[in-house]
């Protein structure tokens, strides 16, 4: 019903636009646009006389983390004429030292890589289609296997040595105001915290992982206001295409459809460059006692995020940081989560980055604390605290380089464990993008 309402409203809006197109008129401007006019590009306001807010608007696009880590299918669906081929390649060298919950120590060093190739085409002024093949390998497993399952086979996505379609969609109503994408796609709502693009609730295919959303994504875009998003996910009895942790389960038919509503504003307000809120609703998906046939409740996650930048000038080093807070009112019982104390549904993280401390180079720090009852994040594991230091080099027309070191530890010791799990890891990662 929700899709039908969205489609009918969109069709009505398009019909009105076509009826009015026979009469020439000036483009519409919002109240905020009427307050000041920005040229196409502003780099020296003191010589052009442009309003300083123009610089703030331009900084939104340039200062965020790389598009590959922030954009979703609805953002990148191509409607240029002809058939377009794009892709990216991410090799990574990863090292992990761990002490598991049984008290055993281990060390592991692996080479990993992810390759994605996408083809997209424009069928009309308002309709486009696209498909992308994605696969990942490691030095431990690179015997490629085509995967047809609709749910990811492990918690963080495809296993090494597997490849599949992670996009196969139809994109409707490509206008300045409306977008609708149906099919398999990538969806994201991330904290734009400079070096980091992390999320407590929605971030398909982060790092070298491969995940997806099967369903519909409707976006309502307003350049000078809040952008709204409605996402309807279809899950299977075997799981979801997105990361869903712990006691979330989709075995009953009543749990197969889940919903996401979010809103984001990237127009700066002083030093605030991002404001965002979102709600995830998974009906009948929470195993309260940790058992498939046991008691069930709907799982709801509320998230708010905000990012800052200072100073606002367009050249030289600057600070960019942010925070993200999530809360789930319905959580598993202590017995269901294998804990001796009450289960915490609160999750939060904070980031601080110094951008352009040298040309094209950034460095940042991220601390997170995720309660055992927060089960939605692709980036943060439940019942875990983590701290990460990351360096980035983003040279023009060359591969992007990321170097990180990270420490993670369980917050509460599980009742089934001898001790808390602790891990230290580091990686060196390169990213090539082509065809854009």
CATH of the domain at 425: 2.40.160.10
**Prediction pTM value:** 0.84
User: How confident is the model at residue 74, as a pLDDT?
Assistant: 81
Residue pair 166/132 in contact by the 8 Å Cβ criterion: yes
- The mean per-residue pLDDT over the stretch 123-145 comes to 92
User: How confident is the model at residue 51, as a pLDDT?
Assistant: 42
User: How confident is the model at residue 62, as a pLDDT?
Assistant: 43
Query: Given CA atoms 146, 152, 158, 164 in this order, what sign does their dihedral have?
Result: positive
Burial of 56 (C-beta count, 10 Å sphere; 0-12/13-18/19+): buried
- The mean per-residue pLDDT over the stretch 103-119 comes to 97
Provide the number of structural domains found in the chain: 1
| Predicted confidence (pLDDT) per residue in 294-334, tens digit | 999 999 999 999 999 999 877 889 999 999 999 999 999 99
CA 86, CA 332: separation in Å to the nearest integer? Answer: 43
CA 415, CA 331: separation in Å to the nearest integer? Answer: 17
Report CA dihedral (241, 217, 228, 16) to the nearest 10 degrees.
180
CA 403, CA 363: separation in Å to the nearest integer? Answer: 9
Q: For residue 335, give its domain range.
A: 2-434
Q: Which residues contact 289 (CB under 8 A, 6 or more apart)?
A: 295, 332, 333, 335, 336
Bridging pattern class, strands 178-185 and 257-265: unpaired
| Predicted confidence (pLDDT) per residue in 51-69, tens digit | 444 443 343 334 445 577 8
- The mean per-residue pLDDT over the stretch 193-203 comes to 94
User: How confident is the model at residue 78, as a pLDDT?
Assistant: 58
User: How confident is the model at residue 82, as a pLDDT?
Assistant: 79
**Residue (of 238, 228, 227, 279) closest to 258 by Cα position:** 279
CA 398, CA 250: separation in Å to the nearest integer? Answer: 43
Which of 139-148, 291-300, 343-352, 385-394 shows the lowest mean pLDDT across its residues? 139-148
**How many residues appear in the chain?**
436
């Amino acid at each position: 019903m929700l899709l039908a309402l969205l489609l009918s409203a969109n069709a009505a809006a398009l019909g009105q636009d076509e009826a009015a197109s026979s009469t020439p008129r000036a483009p519409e401007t919002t109240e905020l646009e009427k307050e000041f006019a920005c040229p196409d590009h502003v780099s020296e306001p003191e010589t052009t006389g442009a309003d300083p807010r123009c610089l703030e608007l331009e900084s939104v696009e340039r200062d965020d983390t790389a598009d590959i880590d922030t954009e979703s299918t609805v953002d990148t669906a191509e409607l240029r004429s002809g058939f377009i081929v794009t892709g990216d390649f991410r090799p990574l060298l990863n090292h992990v030292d761990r002490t598991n919950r049984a008290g055993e120590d281990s060390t592991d060093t692996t080479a990993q890589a992810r390759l994605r190739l996408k083809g997209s085409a424009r069928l009309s002024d308002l309709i486009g289609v696209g498909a992308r093949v994605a696969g990942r390998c490691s030095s431990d497993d690179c015997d490629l296997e085509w995967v047809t399952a609709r749910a990811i086979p492990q918690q963080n996505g495809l296993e090494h040595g597997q490849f599949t379609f992670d996009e196969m969609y139809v994109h409707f109503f490509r206008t300045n105001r409306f977008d609708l994408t149906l099919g398999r796609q990538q969806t994201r709502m991330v904290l734009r915290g400079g070096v980091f693009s992390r999320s407590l609730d929605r971030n398909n295919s982060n790092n070298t992982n491969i995940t997806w959303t099967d369903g519909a994504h409707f976006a309502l875009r307003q350049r000078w206001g809040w952008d709204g998003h409605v996402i309807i996910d279809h899950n299977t009895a075997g799981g979801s295409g997105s990361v869903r942790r712990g006691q979330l389960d989709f075995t009953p038919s009543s749990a197969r459809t889940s919903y996401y509503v979010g809103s984001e504003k990237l127009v700066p307000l002083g030093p605030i460059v991002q404001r965002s809120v979102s709600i995830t609703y998974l009906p009948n998906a929470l195993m309260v006692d940790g058992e498939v046939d046991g008691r069930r409740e709907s799982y709801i996650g509320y998230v708010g995020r905000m990012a800052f930048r200072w100073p606002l000038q367009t050249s030289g080093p600057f600070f960019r940081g942010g925070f993200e807070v999530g809360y789930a009112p319905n959580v598993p019982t202590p017995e269901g989560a294998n804990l001796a104390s009450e289960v915490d549904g609160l999750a939060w993280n904070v980031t601080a980055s110094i951008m352009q401390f040298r040309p094209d180079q950034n460095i940042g720090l991220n601390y997170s604390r995720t309660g055992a009852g927060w089960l939605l994040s692709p980036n943060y594991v439940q019942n875990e605290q983590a701290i990460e230091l990351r360096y980035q080099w983003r040279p023009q027309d060359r591969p992007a380089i990321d170097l990180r070191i990270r420490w993670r530890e369980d917050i509460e010791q599980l009742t089934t464990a001898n001790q808390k799990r602790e891990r230290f890891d580091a990686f060196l990662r390169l990213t090539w993008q082509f065809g854009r």
